[in-house]
Every structure is written in C-alpha cells, then in structure tokens.
Chains A and B, each alone.
Chain A
Amino acid sequence: MAASINDDASLAGGAITVPPARRGRRISGGYLLRRVLLAIESFLVTLVIGFIVFSLVPSDPAQALSRAQAVTAQQMADLRKDLGLDQPIIVRFFRFLGNTFTGNFGYSWEFRQSVGGLIASAIGPTLLLMGCATLISVLLGLWLGVRSGWKPGSKFDRFFTGTAVTLWSVPTFWLGMMLLVVFSVGVGPLPRIFPAGGMSDPTVDPSGIAHILDVAHHLVLPCLTLVAVTFAQNLMIMRSSLVDELGNAYLTTARAKGLRDSEVRRRHAVPNAMLPAITVIFLQIGGLVGGAIVTETVFSWPGLGLLVYNGIKIPDLPLLEGTFVIFSGSVIVFNLLADLLYRVLDPRVKG
C-alpha cells in the first residue's frame, strides 16, 4: 500500500505544480484578452437564451401561480407588475440585463425577499460541498485511472472501471436517498451515524472547532454521493489518456535506462497523460452543478440547489432566473480556466 500512497502524493503534486522546464510559461496578453472577450460574449448569449426561456411564461402568470397556493387579487397585481408583462419586450430585456449586472435578480415569490440576498447566502454552502466533492472525485479518479490505465485489462482495471461505470448509471438522487436511509435513519441493526440533512446542528455553538466538526459531519453523506457518481468520468478520462501513451517509444527508452516500472509510470507516462486529462476534467466541472441540485435537495443542504428545488413548486421564476444566471456564469468561468490552464500546461499550443 506504501507505493500507492506515494502515487497519490505524486499525482496531487503533478496536478498542481508544473515541472521545472515548463514553469515560467506565460499566456500572452493578447490571447488572454481575446479569450476573456469570448467568455463575456458567451455569457451575454447565455443571458439572451435565459431571457427567451423565461419569457415563454404563460401570458397570465396568475394561472401558474394560483395553482400552487391561494393568491389574493392584490398579490396578483403586484406579481404582474413585478414581471413587467405590460412593458415591451425590449424594455424587459434591458431591465433583465441591468438586474443581472447589479446582482439584483428581483424579488422571490416563494421566500418574499430579494433573490440576490438569497443567492448570496446560499452560494457558500454550495461552494463548500462542490469544492470538497470535486477535489476528492478528481484525486480519486486520477489515482484509480492511472492504476487502471497502466495495466489495462488487469483485475484492478476491470474491477474499478466496472464499479465506476455502474455508479455512473445510478441516478444521483437515488444514491443519495439510499445513503440517507442507510446511514442517517438506520436500517435494521445499523445505527444512525450521520445527520439526516441540513448543514449544521442548531444546538451546537455556531463558532469554533465544534461547529467546523459539526459541518464536516453533515458534509460526509452529500459529499460521498457526489463523489460516487462523478469519479467515474475522471477515472475513464485519465485511464484512456494513459492507455494512449502506453505504446510510445519514450517509455521503452525509460525502461531501457533501468527505471523501475513505477518510476516509468510516475515520471514519464503520467505527466504526459495528465495534460489532456486535466483539461477535460476541468471542462466537466461545470457540468457537475446538476448533481449538486439533486444532492442538495435530498440532503436539505442549504445551497443554490435547494433554492432551485424550493423555487420549482410555485414556480418561483425570479429565483430560477437568478440561479440559472449564476450556474451558467460559473460554467463559463470554468471553461475559461480550462482553456487557460491548457495553454499553461501544453507547450505545443501556440497562437
């Protein structure tokens, strides 16, 4: 097991630090500017698409709203004014743009408070959950991918690719519910080990070490759910990337120099295979928000996903609009980072 721990450490290092020869590579200012402008352009297009989607609303929102709950005539009038359905579409579009850039997405129908405020208080928990899950899933996926891809067809490879692909076909929300029933309600002789939902226990002092441990305790199950369904794609990406390197002559050279198998893998094959893998993995991160929505729903984790779920019932359009903009924005930012990272890592991409 000692060797595998070493591998893990080297992997983590490989993902973050750049080998000396490549250090000091700079992205040209012109490229950076062009790429950022492209990101801004696609964000604007996203806003247009979002606006179109939310303009499909039935001409009378009363119908959509009164279905969920009793609404007084006064509230209806307020809501119509809120939606601004009487104004021409171009005015509504520019108001929407203005709202987006000031971070004021209107007034939530469900929570009766500003959407901007709701998002601001929910973004922390989501970042915490997503950050932990992504980190673990990437490290685990890379490590298992390296071990599987180095000896494709081995027992290790077949077991872990099989497990990963099976877990990938499992609906995220269902896996979360199963974990919740088994570990926080307790089935048969199993005691309840983890809390059933939320992010912290109100009886625990909200400051200090006790609070951190409490949040960590609440974090375990949602994090486990997200990791279980997402590490598969990291594993498969890393695996296929490493398999592509296997036949190369430089590996034979390295062996001929007398390096041990694990050294050939760690010092020669993995750094080369890591390059495409890291980029693709970064591109996938944006796609994880979907998993976060259902996981937060199952575990009542007080983040953006739970906000979305609570907004669906009415449906709370300003809230859904605001979260949609935030989710799309974060996907675009991650795509931008993936592109820039690729240029830093790969000396061959120029111009």
Chain B
Amino acid sequence: MSTDQRPADALPVVTASHVNRPPARFAGVRRRVMQFFTMPTGVFGAVVLVVVVATAVFAPLIVPSAALDVTRVDGPSLHPPTAGYPLGTDQAGRSVLDLVLWGTRSSLVIGIIATALTVVVGTTIGLVAGHYGGWVERLLMQITDWVIALPGLPLAISLAAVLGQGNTSIIVAIAVTSWTGTARLVRAQTLAVGARSFVERAKALGATDGQVMRRHILPSVVPIVLVTSTLKIADSILSAATLTFLGLGNPMDVSWGSILNSALGQGALTAGAWWYLIPPGVAILIVVLGFTLCGRALETIINPRMGAFR
C-alpha cells in the first residue's frame, strides 16, 4: 500500500482514546489481509493455489524422471486406470498421473512468466502515457487501441509460428496480445494519481519525471496492477495451454496442453481414452478457478464497488 493512502485507510482505527497517535504502519495492509480471510471463495482459491504451487515445486520428488522417459517405461499402452496406474496410461505406457503432476511445472511457469512480461510492458506503457500526456499519450493509446482491435488467438498463433516452436515463443505471443488491458488501466490510474497534490508537491520540489513516476505514482498503481495480474495469470495459463495444444509448444516438454496435443494427434481420442483426457483438463480448470477466485476476492477488497458479483 502506498504510504500516501495511509491516513484514509487507517481512519477506522483511530478512536477517541488515542487520537494523537499516528496510525500504525501497514494498518491498511493488515486490515485488507484480514478482510481477505473473511471471504470463503478467496480463501478457497488461495488454498487451491498453495496446493498447486507445492505440486509444481515438489514434482521432481514425487515423479521419478524415468517415469516420463518413453524409452524407459514398461506400462501397458493406453490402459484404463488400475491400482498401479491410478489414472491409466498414455500411448507410450507412461502413467497419466505422473504426466499431469509433472505438467504443473511447465504450465504454471509459462503462465506466470507470460503474465509478468505482460504486466511490465502494460504498466510501462500506461505509466509513460499517463504521466507525459500530449502526443506521447495519444501515440501510445492509439497503438493500444489498434492492438486491442486485433484478434488475439490468430495473432498469437502467427507470432509463435513465425518465432518457431518453443516456450519462449509462447510467452512472447501471450505478452504481445494481452498487455493492452493493463496499459489502459495503469494510464487511468496514473491520471487519477497524477492530479493529486502530493505529486504536484514533488514536482514543485524539483523531482524529475522518472522520480515522480517511480517514487510517487508507481506505488499507488502497484496494488491494482497486482490484483489484475492474479486474474491475468488464469488467462495466460489458458492461452498457453491452447497454443501448446495447437502444437506450438516445446515438443520435448510435458505440459497440460502438450498432453492433450498428443491425445489428439496419436489416436487417444478415437480409442475413447477418457482417462487420458480428463486429468489435464481438470488440472487446467482447477488452476484457472484458483487464480480467478483469488483475484476476484482481492479485487473486491481493493475496490469495494466491484463486489456486486463474486
């Protein structure tokens, strides 16, 4: 939370008995954290995410690397779930459970890196546009409008195809197609903050544009950006899964999208191998739901007016 917002945030804390005591540092943050824990959906989302992240981090301990190597597994091909293979096997005889657990890593990492890139690009453009105004703003916002008008998936496919198969292409393709929302949001927020008197004061004291943007405007913009990025990670993971499913990912990588891609390409569909299809899809659904629930709860806390639907 920005220190400049502190007095307003801390208002309820101030009672008659200690009027003169300055409000506790981070009182606003603490209050908002407490508020988050009163929201069942938000807490549920957070618990889901903790489990998913733990799975991604500890996947190498749970899944032996030999279990993913097609040349070193000895399971039956496309076999329905059994005691030894709780979620059945794929064409090569690998355990679907192992594949899905391992896939958490790549799916999550791509989603998070792509979102981080999206947010950095969007925030920079929005901040510069909102702060400088004039022709800089008009140019940047015009570019933003043009990119918004482009169809997202076809652009992402084209970009990733031109850059060649691989995770970097997917990350770049997602960032290029989805920074616009953040840029608009940050510009609006920059305009609102820039009109406040503490920014004027900083300018009057001789702060450079860079200092004003970094030290005064950015801290007020960061909370709302972080909240929207929680929601954006869900979108990025879905986009990444879609692009990988279409065959644009790194072919050596195991991710939820690539599992479904091989299910489509290698006959699991026509064999009716439902056990091979359900787990990766459910995994995507769980993660997307986790980030969405968390993001919505945070959004309600940051901006109570948006709380009508949750």
A: residues with CB less than 8 A from B are: 42, 45-46, 49-50, 53-54, 56-58, 64, 161, 166, 169-175, 177-178, 180-182, 185-187, 196, 240, 243, 286-287, 289-290, 293-294, 297-298, 308-309, 311-313, 315, 317, 320-321, 323-324, 327-328, 331-332, 335
Known interface pairs A46-B150, A294-B246; A177-B289 also in contact (CB < 8 Å): no
- Tell whether B191 is near chain A: CB-to-CB under 8 Å: no
Known interface pairs A169-B234, A324-B155; A186-B272 also in contact (CB < 8 Å): yes
Nearest CB in chain A: distance from B76 CB, A? 19
- Tell whether B181 is near chain A: CB-to-CB under 8 Å: no
Contact pick for A290, options B151, B162, B280, CB 8 Å: B151
Q: Do A289 and B153 touch (CB < 8 A)?
A: yes
Q: Do A171 and B161 touch (CB < 8 A)?
A: no
Q: What's the Cα separation between A290 and B157 when bound, in Å?
A: 10
Residue of A nearest to B153 (CB): A290
The interface residues of chain A, by DSSP majority, are classed as helix
Contacts of B263 in A (CB 8 A): 177
Nearest CB in chain B: distance from A328 CB, A? 6
- Tell whether B39 is near chain A: CB-to-CB under 8 Å: no
A-B contact count (CB 8 A): 135
Q: Do A332 and B162 touch (CB < 8 A)?
A: no
Nearest CB in chain B: distance from A308 CB, A? 6
Nearest CB in chain A: distance from B235 CB, A? 10
Q: Do A173 and B153 touch (CB < 8 A)?
A: no
Known interface pairs A174-B284, A177-B263, A181-B272; A46-B247 also in contact (CB < 8 Å): no
Contacts of B146 in A (CB 8 A): 42, 45-46, 49
Q: What's the Cα separation between A42 and B145 when bound, in Å?
A: 9
- Tell whether B159 is near chain A: CB-to-CB under 8 Å: yes
Q: What's the Cα separation between A332 and B149 when bound, in Å?
A: 7
Contacts of A172 in B (CB 8 A): 242
Q: Do A171 and B241 touch (CB < 8 A)?
A: yes
Q: Which of B272-292 contact A (CB under 8 A)?
A: 272-274, 277-278, 280-281, 284-285, 288-289, 292
Residue of B nearest to A311 (CB): B161
- Tell whether B238 is near chain A: CB-to-CB under 8 Å: yes
Q: What's the Cα separation between A298 and B277 when bound, in Å?
A: 13
- Tell whether B269 is near chain A: CB-to-CB under 8 Å: yes
- Tell whether B136 is near chain A: CB-to-CB under 8 Å: no
Contacts of A324 in B (CB 8 A): 154-155, 158
